[in-house]
Amino acid sequence: MSRLIVVSNRVSAPKAQSGGAQGGLAVALTSALREHDGIWFGWSGDAGPGHELTFSTYDGVTSATLDLSEQDIEEYYDGYANRTLWPLFHYRLDLTEFEREFQGGYERVNAVFAEKIAPEIQEDDLIWVHDYHMIPLGWLLRQQGCRNRMGFFLHIPWPPTRLLVALPDHRRLVESLFAYDVIGFQTNEWLESFRHYVTHEMDAVLGPDGSVTIGSRTIRAIACPIGIDTGEFVEAANGKTAHDAYERMAESNIGRDLIVGVDRLDYSKGLPERFAGYERYLAKHPERKNKVYLLQIAPPSRTAVQTYRDIRQTLEGLTGRINGEFADIDWVPIRYVNRGFPRDVLAGIFRAARIGLVTPLRDGMNLVAKEYVAAQDPDNPGVLILSQFAGAAEQLTEALMINPYSPDSIADAIETALEMPLEERKERWRSLMDIVAYEDVFWWRQRFVDALMNQGQ
């Protein structure tokens, strides 16, 4: 079996997994890497001089990280990754910042990674690069003489061509993707957008089975939706910590229905829209006052970026206003918690919740939706309300689908969910769970790695 080399911006070894906001990528890759011998490369998350690799092995996963300089972090991570590519790829041209230094820093840091990683690669290693931080890495590795099979997986959406062309040097960025043998997207929709771009902007020729040819170079572009480690999550939901969290919730609910939202604090997650939908619900259904509440867990992320500080302020204002307007002396309609919790505590909270409310304006996939499904009690499952703009909507078709831009759409779905008979809840949950259980993180990994091994055979 070939070794698997994974490269992503951040490396999150298993020991770092308790508490705090654990990104979806980290959760997924840890499960995948444990089965393969190999190395996970990335940024340490720290600022420091030099770019030396530090290796460590924990629980079957070897990681190799390097520090970046303050300037690298500012331009590559806070800059091009999080102030240029992230908003643009989430259709937020209004929040996208185009600065030459950001692009320069991004290319420089990717070149550092290529230079450091290339000597560590063995002849038949498979290389799997992740996400928007690392788009040009494959091309830069090829410049270092690397001839291995290389795949790239994009965890976030691929934007429509008309938005992408607003990025200075967009073509240079997309061309660099052709250094990979396989490119994976979360959904058919993002894949379609990519195919549209390469045919309209680059004269690519599309072939059967996802092949894309430019000149003499043929690669494969596929849709390959990421899953969760469903078995582990079900186990967590049935474990003692989750049970304690469940009991704690049940005690504090005192018969009220819990609606839960769990998201990194990010403008793509549709949190103000979610609160507005819930507010509309309370206004439309005064009879439900004191019988329901929304628990929103939102650990802060990317706090160096102004737009992230803004979203935090917006939500604090909204929570205060809604609670001020609707609360009673013995009831607060929104509990807004600005910190992270361990995974198994989350599993217990999900299980205690009558509704999982997932309302992103755009999301590559959204693993919380899948985790909510996995955590449910099969005999008395809750209802998933899901944005039509989450990548997960392509798979989780039995969720109650909403348009997050419409407060009425969210409000009506909340009422439908609370009124839903047990039989229908069970039926919907069963078909959601079949997908979450079958198309899990191992299925995803296998599908991508198979595509990579078979490409060009």
Q: What is the largest CA-CA distance in the chain?
A: 71
155: annotated active-site residue: yes
Q: Which residues contact 217 (CB under 8 A, 6 or more apart)?
A: 178
Span 244-283, contacts to ligand GDG by CB under 6 A: 262, 264
Distance CA 181, CA 195 (A): 15
Q: Which stretch binds ligand GDG (CB under 6 A): 40-48, 319-327, 335-343, 412-420?
A: 335-343
Number of residues engaging ligand GDG in binding (CB under 6 A): 27
Catalogue the long-range contacts made by 70-75 (C-beta closer than 8 Å, 24 or more residues apart).
71/105, 72/105, 72/108, 72/109, 72/112, 73/47, 74/105, 75/101, 75/102, 75/104, 75/105, 75/106, 75/108, 75/109
Span 211-230, contacts to ligand GDG by CB under 6 A: 226
Q: Which stretch binds ligand GDG (CB under 6 A): 17-25, 29-37, 163-171, 235-243?
A: 17-25
363: annotated active-site residue: yes
What's the min distance (Å) between Cβ of 307 and ligand GDG? 15
Instruction: Answer yes or no whether residue 299 interacts with ligand GDG by CB under 6 A.
Output: yes
DSSP 267-290: GGG-HHHHHHHHHHHHHH-GGGTT
Residue 57: what are its φ and ψ, rounded to 5°? -125, 130
Instruction: Answer yes or no whether residue 435 interacts with ligand GDG by CB under 6 A.
Output: no
* H helix intervals, 144-215: 161-164, 170-176, 188-202
Q: Which stretch binds ligand GDG (CB under 6 A): 73-81, 160-168, 209-217, 364-372?
A: 364-372
Considering only 88, 164, 368, 411, the residue that binds ligand GDG (CB under 6 A) is 368
Q: Which residues contact 423 (CB under 8 A, 6 or more apart)?
A: none
Instruction: Answer yes or no whether residue 384 interacts with ligand GDG by CB under 6 A.
Output: no
Contact of 66 with 116, CB cutoff 8 Å: yes
Contact of 186 with 224, CB cutoff 8 Å: yes
Of 183 and 282, which CB lies nearer to ligand GDG in the complex structure? 183
Distance CA 180, CA 325 (A): 54
Of 77 and 326, which CB lies nearer to ligand GDG in the complex structure? 77
H or E segment at 236? Answer: helix 230-238
Nearest Cα to Cα of residue 182 among 118, 117, 122, 128: 128
Of 87 and 340, which CB lies nearer to ligand GDG in the complex structure? 340
What's the min distance (Å) between Cβ of 2 and ligand GDG? 23
Distance CA 423, CA 148 (A): 52
Instruction: Answer yes or no whether residue 27 interacts with ligand GDG by CB under 6 A.
Output: yes
Instruction: Answer yes or no whether residue 340 interacts with ligand GDG by CB under 6 A.
Output: yes
Considering only 176, 366, 409, 455, the residue that binds ligand GDG (CB under 6 A) is 366
Span 342-361, contacts to ligand GDG by CB under 6 A: 342-343, 346
What's the min distance (Å) between Cβ of 374 and ligand GDG? 11
Distance CA 339, CA 264 (A): 9
Span 146-185, contacts to ligand GDG by CB under 6 A: 155-156
Tokens found for residue 442: 């191992």
Q: Which stretch binds ligand GDG (CB under 6 A): 55-63, 159-167, 270-278, 337-345?
A: 337-345
Instruction: Answer yes or no whether residue 363 interacts with ligand GDG by CB under 6 A.
Output: yes
Q: Which of 131, 155, 263, 440 is catalytic?
A: 155
What's the min distance (Å) between Cβ of 288 and ligand GDG? 27
Instruction: Answer yes or no whether residue 25 interacts with ligand GDG by CB under 6 A.
Output: yes
Catalytic residues: 155, 363
Q: Residues in the site for ligand GDG, rule: CB under 6 A?
A: 21-25, 27-28, 155-156, 226, 262, 264, 297, 299, 340-343, 346, 363-368, 371, 391
